[in-house]
Amino acid sequence: MEPRVAGNDKKTFDLIVVGSGPGGYVAAIRASQLGMSVACVEADRLGGVCLNIGCIPTKALLTSALMVKEVREAGKHGISTGQIAVDLGPAQERSRAVADQMAKGVEFLFKKKKVTHIEGFGRLAGKGKVEVELRGGGKETYDARHILLATGSRPRNFPFLQIDGEHIWSSDHALFQKTAPKTLIIVGAGAIGMEFADVFDAYGSEVTMLEALDRVLPLEDKDVSAHLEKAYKKRGIAIHTGARVEKAEPGTGGVTVTFKDKAGKQHVVTVEKVLSAVGRVPNTGDLGLDKAGVALTEKGGFIKVDEWMRTNVERVYAIGDCAGGALLAHKASHEGIACVEHIAGQAHAPVDYGNVPNCTYCHPEVASVGMTEEQARAAGYDIEVGRFPWLGNGRAVAMGDVDGFLKVVRDKKYSEVLGAHIVGPHATELIAEFVLGRHLEATTEEMEKAMHPHPTLSEAVAEVSLATMGRPIHI
């Protein structure tokens, strides 16, 4: 641990973190635990996109969407509801209350963990200096031995699909709607597109999804994409994969979207609203990076970092979305911890990028970790693939939630879990078992030998592990 900066007058810190999302605030807390004097500069609300306009409020809305589905099926449980009416307004208000509660939680944690919160927009201003345009007006310059950039990302905006907040939304706008539009086109079937399709479909919108690649959730295993496409179509969501959006023109009657389908046929459709969910770009502008000489990646313009999140400029670091890789909150938090522990001379290991779980909280839920079957084959592994349907799991049947499956890719040589893919009930919770297994280098035999309680969904983890060795019990 380097010596603390002497005579801390609240303008001088061991570490200044710019950005308080799940990367920045976690790094700031960990650094404080390690004995550093820490400030975190935030231009907006504490908690960043994740807590305020991302992960957390969308999960609140998705919980409401699931409840709509469950109430529709309440008759099976002897609950009479009569005609069901849905209204996005209260669900949206609830999602804001959840987000507010979480943002206040970060404020509380900062006080408890002695992290100074500087309210304003921060940028690099020379060696060891951060200039902040204070929210209350004026500018102040702070000194820091180390500077950590954790400025996140924002929705990508294409020229042919200009987000205007009124007719054409980004996820930021979709989150603040109090009524579901009658008709909605969602461009992009990644995590954001799939999650909002779930919410708006539940609240009565007629949803059409346009995805440029040949399948929905294109980063997931092909079997997962195929299952989700079928499940969404069954709900009545229209999906065009291999679609090319040519233009989207707002007018008095809504937005007219022109796109070519897979077969090259042109469609011209007018809908009430359009949601652009075509990826995110890093917040790297106006951070003083140029002047400080901080290098960016050629592709995507992310901040270039090494395994300890160091940029090419001494004592300047970057983590999370602004540093590229998977744009995921948990990956950002882990990078933040690895970075500050390294600064403090207490590093364990850099982030294991091969073991970052992916979760999409639509219904059925989707979660995965490691390689897809295709990736494992392409990497030259001799593999065995195990599949297990939820129909073979007593708890899932009792819950009435059997839509989906588990799939595990096993390396035959060492019986290593190369990849795990789950579609179905609580997939996003269950995937953690495979993440831990992989972290501890468990074999598929060990995944099964660890006793799973009965009756639980977790038994399916054991069953799919057995399935990779050709001996599942319940199928």
User: Residue from 211, 220, 335, 403 that binds ligand NAD (CB under 6 A)?
Assistant: 211
**Residue 415 and residue 409: Cα distance in Å, rounded?**
9
User: Which residue lies nearest ligand NAD, judged by its C-beta?
Assistant: 190
Nearer CB in complex with ligand NAD: 47/392: 47
151 vs 40, 115, 163, 259, 430, CA distance in Å? 11, 17, 21, 34, 30
Minimum distance from residue 470 beta carbon to ligand NAD (Å): 33
Under the binding rule (CB under 6 A), the answer on residue 36 touching ligand NAD is no
Q: Interaction with ligand NAD in 258-297: which residues (CB under 6 A)?
A: 277-280
Nearer CB in complex with ligand NAD: 290/352: 352
Rg of the chain, C-alpha, whole Å: 24
Nearer CB in complex with ligand NAD: 128/282: 282
Nearer CB in complex with ligand NAD: 54/181: 54
**Region binding ligand NAD by CB under 6 A among candidate stretches 4-12, 67-75, 187-195, 408-416:** 187-195
User: Residue from 29, 115, 150, 189 that binds ligand NAD (CB under 6 A)?
Assistant: 189
Nearer CB in complex with ligand NAD: 115/210: 210
Under the binding rule (CB under 6 A), the answer on residue 359 touching ligand NAD is yes
User: Residue from 38, 53, 327, 338 that binds ligand NAD (CB under 6 A)?
Assistant: 327
Under the binding rule (CB under 6 A), the answer on residue 49 touching ligand NAD is no
Minimum distance from residue 426 beta carbon to ligand NAD (Å): 14
Minimum distance from residue 201 beta carbon to ligand NAD (Å): 16
Helices (H), 42-159: 48-53, 55-72, 88-112
Strands 366-370 and 358-360: antiparallel
Q: Which of 2, 12, 22, 8 is nearest to 321 (CA)?
A: 22
User: Is the previous residue joined to 357 through a cis bond, with omega within 30 degrees of 0?
Assistant: no
Asked if 321 and 280 touch (Cβ cutoff 8 Å), the reply is yes
| Token code pair at residue 401 | 């939630």
Minimum distance from residue 213 beta carbon to ligand NAD (Å): 4
Under the binding rule (CB under 6 A), the answer on residue 168 touching ligand NAD is no
User: Residue from 47, 190, 324, 392 that binds ligand NAD (CB under 6 A)?
Assistant: 190
Cα dihedral value 264, 266, 271, 273, nearest 10: 50
338 vs 32, 40, 322, CA distance in Å? 14, 17, 16
- The residue whose two tokens read 């299952």 is 227
Tell me whether residue 342 is one of the annotated catalytic residues: no
Q: Which of 144, 139, 108, 143 is nearest to 121 (CA)?
A: 139
**Other CB atoms within 10 A of residue 31 CB:** 28
Under the binding rule (CB under 6 A), the answer on residue 210 touching ligand NAD is yes
Catalytic residue from among 117, 421, 454, 474: 454
Tell me, by CB under 6 A, how many residues bind ligand NAD: 25
Nearer CB in complex with ligand NAD: 171/444: 171
Under the binding rule (CB under 6 A), the answer on residue 99 touching ligand NAD is no
Sketch the per residue contact string, 117 through 136, with ligand NAD: x for CB under 6 A, - otherwise: --------------------
**Region binding ligand NAD by CB under 6 A among candidate stretches 33-41, 89-97, 189-197, 344-352:** 189-197
User: Residue from 218, 250, 288, 301 that binds ligand NAD (CB under 6 A)?
Assistant: 218
User: Residue from 192, 237, 274, 460 that binds ligand NAD (CB under 6 A)?
Assistant: 192
Q: Which long-range contacts (CB under 8 A, 24 or more apart) does 324-331 make?
A: 324/282, 324/297, 324/300, 325/353, 326/353, 326/356, 326/358, 327/153, 327/280, 328/356, 328/358, 329/21, 329/22, 329/23, 329/50, 329/54, 329/55, 330/22, 330/356, 330/357, 331/356
**Residue 280 and residue 320: Cα distance in Å, rounded?**
13
243 vs 13, 210, 211, 217, 218, CA distance in Å? 51, 6, 6, 14, 13
List residues near ligand NAD by CB under 6 A.
158, 187-193, 195, 210-213, 218, 243, 245, 277-280, 327-328, 359-361
User: Catalytic residue positions?
Assistant: 454
